[in-house]
Structure 1
């Protein structure tokens, strides 16, 4: 037995010493030949892997003989798979080149921990290219999901308070065609109409439960996105949550003042053994009452998403958002736009802002659906094909009311008008993009070539508007119809469905349907002349086909527009400081107008060029102290021209001569000065004026849509990073605006909404699997207002509490 045991050990040692193994090694670089540290190297279908070192080198030893596939992946780059064979040898893969690409290519990745959690250095949507903010000649603000969590944000309007230079003008009313509210940006009104870079519509507020981040692109942006989803001030893009590798999720409950209760869920998992098919579901149910004497909102939201990576070349994605919401429409006081104002400010008006002037019996329902399908195919290491299809449908059903001062009745009397809504809007969009990252000689080109088809259909089957009594800002009421000769002192107008239906029974019911199509082709190229100097050029060819009412061809017209852009960027200190300048274009299609003196014969239609907006901008971006300090400082100058106005020489003719001028500067700062502390701050100043117009009411005045001249916001969040108190944190900040005009016309005079500064604060504890937080909004209970020819009181002090469990 002793000899047998010795012989067995000898045989085992011999087999081990002569086992057939090998190794694989290589160096990983990017397309500019810079080595990449920290790249994940993994042999597929095994537990073997490593990471590249500081100079991009890796080596994996003791690999048994056989055929393998090496997966090379890094955040912000397209994953690469390389086959290799081990046969008692060393395999040197030499240089492996990774090409940039992020979520627009639908690679399923999880973003790692960032020190500077309020900033995001790279995005795909605002440029339709995997391009770092530091390399982009256009300015944009990003509101991250981490920022929304620290502030316990429960509505979209509060989320956008973190975007520099953005001010809420008009919250979502739920009325058909109103969309998800209006915001002022660089002197012009804008609405959030993009979801993941594609058209996405809603007639109610956007649910923040499915928001990964919000991108606010500054300045005219028609070259890449067209005029249907952008404004002269910019555009707002909502980026939704997407499937990721792994299984997990979270449950969250938020409760607070004014009857707020919101429960949200987030679940992610693989659906197959190969783990290349991932499903994620986000859902939310929320109810909230108004701070006024009446008003509420409740909503149910579900967002399924699916990501299927067929192989290293081909992947598919599906995203959906389905919302069922019911609310009373927010009640504004609409100021008269053609008669002198009795009051000049809130104090003169004597407004009791706790009165809603509505009833919980009169509600609007806003079912909304958004769907997107994406297919991505890697044609080669340098070219990708991206096919995108989106569908949106939004409806409004119920009672809409508004209060308007016609200037006929005395003492700031507002007349109530209402109708029964039955509206629908549907959109379809198909895009085909080819995205390249290649070199011509020594010059690097990052290119997107795209085709886009967009179609929108709207139907209206609501009733006409009926008079339904008067109110005064202090709460008085009477039934004197301002459009009848009879004076009625008192009349009962019950705010109930029965009373309203009885009045609306005599109103006509609309039966209209309209449609338009847009066909576009666009191209953009970011050309690196040197490692520190790059230029960006782009052009869009846009054909607008307006079919108007489908029942007649009298309102049909079409226009073709070229929309160019150009930018230049220089990095005096590579990856630390960039100096940029850009020229951006936007446009609006203009319908033909009837011209000619009727006394001389029938009038004829005159066609016009699209209205144009051109921006010149320059500034500086910094990315210093290892990404701990990101700052953007910019100055812009926007001129809108070719607005159709009445010919000064003939009241029967129209010419393109109207102009609006908007200029200003913006400063945005995202900082992480010490571990655990994140700071976000923004300041903007805008000067806008109508410089040419046939409307003397607005000539040489600041447009009402321009909002406040000065805006500012700051939020600081500190989380203790280590020790016994690790996880405890505090947040504080404020946002504010200078005074602004609600009305400012020559014949009406002005009505000024006062300046405001609103303070907010939070406390929280973050553990491994749960988070507890408290948030105080409007901490000093400031009474303040917003509006756009309207007066809309804002929410007073409110306390929110949140508990989130992560699994």
Structure 2
């Protein structure tokens, strides 16, 4: 580590003087149809200076001497535009329009002379106009380009490109999945920075990108969206000003058939009313002896440009799913002597279900965003979202009770959840005493209503998985309905809770290359309680308040190329009151996670090398644990709130475009989690379902950028996850073994069409998720896309 630090310091000292001047040119490049032009080369030839525009079309040339210069602007493969520019200090020029439209930008992507995987700028991460290299927080981005290259057909597969996020993926009964980051489970409830219902599956057809925001992010996102490990934010596709789009078909083993369409068009001649519709139809069978899913997605998006200052975006997602479901397998019995799932001997292709046991999910998401530019310094942004999810199912859970037998437990349930969020942001970008100041101040209201009006469960049977016999295949939907009909206890419930939050975040430039971030949020949680249909009683009514601060500092020894950063971040979870054995009620405080982190970010060689490396330490306080010293009442121990958990680790990401056409994405994550003050049987141990200590990901692709084979390319990558704990206490340990999965793809990408072939899990590796469900073995798939 010392050698690395000395090397970095030497590099900084040798290069600092080269970039020491203050004058420069800033501006924006637009296409002929008024869209931001990304990946356009801008430079001054006589000075041998050049750069590439970002996702908003912005560019900045630094260290340009005062005087008159000729600025050239060139879209790859097209003629250059030259402009005479007079530079006086830091000079901002009016927007420059290219002769080409957005179709020409697609040609740029095909030629491949860009770092296609390093598109990290975002309006959601900090809710401010803040570049990655200016942000003291660590985050990763999975763009639609890499998802297309890898022929991603499900949301889970995209997370292979996020360091540390592929360690623990668990499916639930409705098709949803979760991930583990920095030792904590993360849901997928954020959409364009706004909350959604978190209980439905997500189709990737409408995704522009996925943003993995690392660390406890309660200050901006609150406890309803962020966990102690961070959150995932999915960014959806938005309308643009020209007609265009694509249709695609993907097919593969196990009857994989997937159709998607992305159609965009202006609805009037002034291009002030824009419509984009994304849709998907998806069907596939399981590789196991039973199982299937069929889904659909319709996602329209309408953009209204009501004036130069006012725009309104309205979009929706209509999603449905039908298919078989299994919650997963639990190892609850001490009669199981195996220490790992691969030792247990359950057949990899045993589903324990059949195709008559069908669950269904319906999702309706509706959103609106209103942006109003108050003046040159301030913008008002109003976000409104509502989400309705219904799912009904007979579902199975498995419980392994010996080294040869499992019980099949059945559930009959209907669930309805409605989530609503209203968010108002005021975003400012102005100067104070000549220093840039960026600030967001906002209010957040969200509510969740849930209803489980009919929830009945029963033990169905016990199966010997080593010798299944006729009983294994005899299960059917009629048998389940008959079994559940005899259950009189309805364990269903209904309830509601509300959040109200206010926050402010300020980024102030103490100097051009030194900035600080100060943020604070206050949240009020109002749990109206849960009414139990069986007991006819309401419990869990409580209110709590939490303060969540955030602090960050960024120093750029080489402006816009190298930054040293540090942060203090906070997250929280509200805790329901606990009924103690002596009939008293303990009103506990919220749990808090406090993170300190430091690291370095690179964006050098004109965005050809983008890297982040950081070390973090998360300390969770106010955990509830069993008090072993206080005398129990009737054999039941008291619960106290003095528990503690730590999670420390390393995050690394490297995105490279060393030569034209070659793109590399690599990541590594190390995490050491420990319960430092907890129940005696787990104290000092790694928490279960906290992921693996070590995970790594790599994807390398190359496409020919010129000549006869222009557009022809190939990619390959590996994902590794270390061993994970499912049970970890003084009595026993049960693990998921480490695994390494290797994938590869070949493609032929042209402006009007794209052909792709993919081979997943080339080695046919056997591996499991944290629900002990076998994951997909080797599979071949192919796709064809027509662009217009």
The TM-score, its normalising length taken from structure 1, stands at 0.83
Q: In structure 2, list runs of 5 or more residues that go unmatched.
A: 1-21, 35-39, 46-54, 60-85, 96-103
Name the residue aligned to 1:627. Answer: 607
Q: Are the equivalent residues in 1 in contact too, given 2:278–2:300 (CA < 8 A)?
A: yes
Higher relative CO (CA 8 A, sep ≥ 6), structure 1 or 2? 2
Question: Which moves more between the two structures, 436-445 or 426-435?
Answer: 436-445
Matched, 1:286 2:282: yes
Name the residue aligned to 1:200. Answer: 196
Alignment partners' CA distance in 2, 1:99 and 1:783: 57
Name the residue aligned to 2:548. Answer: 563
3-state secondary structure, aligned to 1:529: strand
Name the residue aligned to 2:468. Answer: 476
Report matched runs for 1:461-610 at 5 Å. Answer: 461-476=453-468, 494-508=474-488, 509-510=490-491, 512-549=493-530, 554-595=539-580, 598=582, 603-610=583-590
Q: Are the equivalent residues in 2 in contact too, given 1:155–1:205 (CA < 8 A)?
A: no
Q: Are the equivalent residues in 1 in contact too, given 2:167–2:695 (CA < 8 A)?
A: no
3-state secondary structure, aligned to 1:548: strand
Report matched runs for 1:236-275 at 5 Å. Answer: 236-275=232-271
Report matched runs for 1:375-414 at 5 Å. Answer: 375-405=370-400, 407=401, 410-414=402-406
Alignment partners' CA distance in 1, 2:707 and 2:132: 35
Change (3 A) 1:641 1:492: closer
Per the TM alignment, residue 340 of structure 1 is displaced from its structure 2 partner at its CA by 5.2
State the Cα deviation string for residues 214-266 of structure 1 (Å, max 9, x = none). 00000000000001111100100011111012101100000001110000001
Q: Are the equivalent residues in 2 in contact too, given 1:331–1:358 (CA < 8 A)?
A: no
3-state secondary structure, aligned to 1:242: coil
1:803 paired residue among 773, 784, 787 = 784
2:451 paired residue among 445, 453, 459 = 459
Name the residue aligned to 1:351. Answer: 346
Per the TM alignment, residue 462 of structure 1 is displaced from its structure 2 partner at its CA by 2.6
Alignment partners' CA distance in 1, 2:201 and 2:556: 40
Name the residue aligned to 2:695. Answer: 711
3-state secondary structure, aligned to 1:678: strand
Name the residue aligned to 1:374. Answer: 369
Change (3 A) 1:291 1:52: closer
3-state secondary structure, aligned to 2:772: strand
3-state secondary structure, aligned to 1:375: strand
Name the residue aligned to 1:328. Answer: 324
Alignment partners' CA distance in 2, 1:547 and 1:667: 42
Max radius of gyration: which structure?
1
Q: Are the equivalent residues in 1 in contact too, given 2:711–2:750 (CA < 8 A)?
A: yes
Alignment partners' CA distance in 1, 2:578 and 2:474: 44
Paired residue total = 704
Change (3 A) 1:657 1:465: same
Per the TM alignment, residue 161 of structure 1 is displaced from its structure 2 partner at its CA by 0.9
Name the residue aligned to 1:444. Answer: 436
The TM-score, its normalising length taken from structure 2, stands at 0.85
Per the TM alignment, residue 629 of structure 1 is displaced from its structure 2 partner at its CA by 0.2
Q: Are the equivalent residues in 2 in contact too, given 1:203–1:366 (CA < 8 A)?
A: no
Alignment partners' CA distance in 2, 1:585 and 1:554: 29
Matched, 1:115 2:114: yes
Matched, 1:740 2:724: yes
Alignment partners' CA distance in 2, 1:669 and 1:647: 46
Alignment partners' CA distance in 1, 2:418 and 2:753: 40
RMSD of aligned Cα (Å): 2.6
Name the residue aligned to 2:7. Answer: none
Question: Which moves more between the two structures, 446-455 or 113-122?
Answer: 113-122
Per the TM alignment, residue 182 of structure 1 is displaced from its structure 2 partner at its CA by 1.6
1:700 paired residue among 672, 684, 687 = 684
Change (3 A) 1:41 1:459: closer
Q: Are the equivalent residues in 1 in contact too, given 2:690–2:725 (CA < 8 A)?
A: no
Per the TM alignment, residue 653 of structure 1 is displaced from its structure 2 partner at its CA by 4.7
Alignment partners' CA distance in 1, 2:698 and 2:525: 41
Q: Are the equivalent residues in 2 in contact too, given 1:639–1:660 (CA < 8 A)?
A: yes
State the Cα deviation string for residues 127-181 of structure 1 (Å, max 9, x = none). 1112111100000000010000000000111101111111253433234xxx831
Name the residue aligned to 1:780. Answer: 763
Name the residue aligned to 1:35. Answer: 25
Alignment partners' CA distance in 2, 1:280 and 1:34: 38
Alignment partners' CA distance in 2, 1:384 and 1:627: 29
